[in-house]
Amino acid sequence: MAKKQPAKTGKVTKQRPKKQSGALQDIRVLDLTWLGPGPFCSTLLGDLGADIIKIHEPDVERRGGFIKHMLPDSPEHPGLRNCRVMGLDLKAVDGRNIFYDLAKTADVVMESYRPGVTRRLRIDYRTLAKINPRIVYVSFSGYGQTGPYRDLVGHDINYISIGGLLGLTGKANGSPVIPGVPIADFAAGGMVAAIDILAALRERDRTGKGQYADVSLTDGIVGMMSVWINPYLSWGVLSKRGETWLGGKWSWYNVYETRDGKYISIGALEPHFYANLCRLIGRKDLIGHQFAEGDKGGEIFRYFKKVFLTKTREEWLEILRQKDTCVAPVYSIDELVSDPQLIARKTIDELPHPTLGRVKQVGSILKLSDSPFRVRNWSTRFGQHTKEILNELGYDKARIKAVRKKGVIPE
């Protein structure tokens, strides 16, 4: 029996929202993700100017969990920037047909369902590529779409575990230490996906055809760990927790408590930085012993711990910044948001908001000379842009009313 094809949904008007700008202003992304790597990726693409349409179930109460907290019901919460939100029931025939119409106008689709779910919903890459051969389709998963672990559930902590990062993080002879941010989600997933998308769009410029990206968060972590994995594969050199160059083995690449109970980080890896450090802490005699181990290495560690307790963090920063030593304060979040460097670069910024005036937020981490970041819109409630997006597709009032009555889109 021949496989049933998606229903033909008629002519679709390909319109873009007004006030688009940025390097990706002609790119539309349909984002079916709401946790971890997908939202981070769509934030990057949206900050670059892409038209991000985040799609959720019409009734978010049915979904529950974290999704309800993405747009808090608070007038003081700015919401999500540079994206539009649309409620749509993808399990309903009418909902899928609307999605197919959207796909005709889209450049990218991102999803993070369990492997196989999109095929059952008939919104998988093969289906959409028949509707729009130019589509770039990204699937996020913990372990990938293939292999014996493809159906296992997990979260960031599990992916950094199997990828070796968690096992290498922490002090020697101590327990593994969980990083403070989801590295697998954001770096190994969201950033990797953004690179995949940009590369696939560039390839499409040459071929006219989109393609599929299988983004495994575990694969991304393993790639990030290659600096330690490859030496083991090549020469049998096994790196252990707290015993690597960058993991706490050396006194001159470490974290120290200061007199006021705060901390500073020292990264004096190069010999001339280490020499400057030794001079500024009053121990020129240690300059020739940067890589000393055993008793001498222990002596250096003990001295560093003792001397940094003699002054406050700010006092040490003032002293050690007289020369190149690679020193920085270990900030808490309430401290970093006031740092003059981050403010000067608008990494911490005041952004315009339609109802709140100006709101402090993390700005864009992507800074292009000819395509500057700007805030085009905010999404403050679920389903906010559903009617607007349907209007862009050419749906009239009667058709919108009909699908709303069926519960396919929110009230």
Cα(29)–Cα(52) distance, integer angstroms? 5
**Residue 219 known to be catalytic:** no
Cα(104)–Cα(128) distance, integer angstroms? 8
**Residue 396 known to be catalytic:** no
Closest-CA residue to 156 (of 75, 89, 221): 221
CB atoms within 10 A of CB 311: 17
Cα(224)–Cα(283) distance, integer angstroms? 36
CB atoms within 10 A of CB 347: 16
Cα(85)–Cα(104) distance, integer angstroms? 18
**Token reading at 273:** 């930085």
Q: Edge-to-edge strands of the sheet including 253-257?
A: 253-257, 263-267, 327-329
* Among 47, 51, 101, 185, the one annotated catalytic: 185
Q: How far apart are the first and last CA of the chain?
A: 39
Integer-rounded Cα Rg, in Å, for the chain is 26
Closest-CA residue to 184 (of 161, 204, 202): 161
Cα(123)–Cα(103) distance, integer angstroms? 10
Closest-CA residue to 254 (of 310, 305, 290): 305
Q: Which amino acid would we find at residue 297?
A: G
Helix, coil or strand: residue 256: strand
Measured in degrees and rounded to the nearest 5, phi and psi for residue 298 equal -65, -40
| CA 364 to chain centroid | 12
Helix, coil or strand: residue 134: coil
CB of 186 within 8 A of CB of 37?
A: yes
Closest-CA residue to 178 (of 198, 193, 158, 197): 158
Q: Is 124 left (phi over 0), alpha (psi -120 to 50) or beta?
A: beta
Q: Which residues carry out catalysis?
A: 155, 185
